[in-house]
Structure 1
Amino acid sequence: MAEIFRSQGIKFIIYSDDHDPDHCHAKSADFEVKIDISVNGPMLMDVAAGGSKESKFQKTALKLAQTRLDELKAALEVIKDARN
């Protein structure tokens, strides 16, 4: 597990032994969401209906992932290279 960055109380993590598609985990004290970073723009994965606080968390996490997408993709490549 590698913490790639932390912003606004959200940790962005990539697990070295995780499955496809390429994605990161965004975690706060109360919520977690997986974000697909294999496409041109990040997309939420496995989204379950939640309350307004969870929806706000998801929107914030997605926006942060978009802002730092290049950093997330570069970190994922380093992790993949180390795995092989």
Structure 2
Amino acid sequence: MIVHHLKILPEEFEAISKGATEVTVSENIYKAKDVLCLHEWKGECTKRVIEVLVLDRRQSLTPGLIVLRVEKIKEGENNSVLFK
């Protein structure tokens, strides 16, 4: 298991926060059981973070993109005890 930190746009952040279970990424480096620490990005990182577990992956219909099926582990703020 590897922990990866990624920046995501507010609308994508909200979708994951509300229960979306897929993330589309351009890098082909993420594997099942990796953890993604998703940082909300509004020109700079906000304090909002969601941690998800990668369950599996598949090739997107769009060339060069990978779709990751994920499960939310925790959500909070970057400065909270959850993310220390």
Shorter chain as normaliser: what TM range? under 0.3
Name whichever structure is richer in strand by fraction: 2
What TM-score, normalized by structure 2, do the two folds share?
0.27
Name whichever structure is richer in helix by fraction: 1
Query: Which has the higher relative contact order, 1 or 2, with Cα contacts under 8 A spaced 6 or more apart?
Result: 2
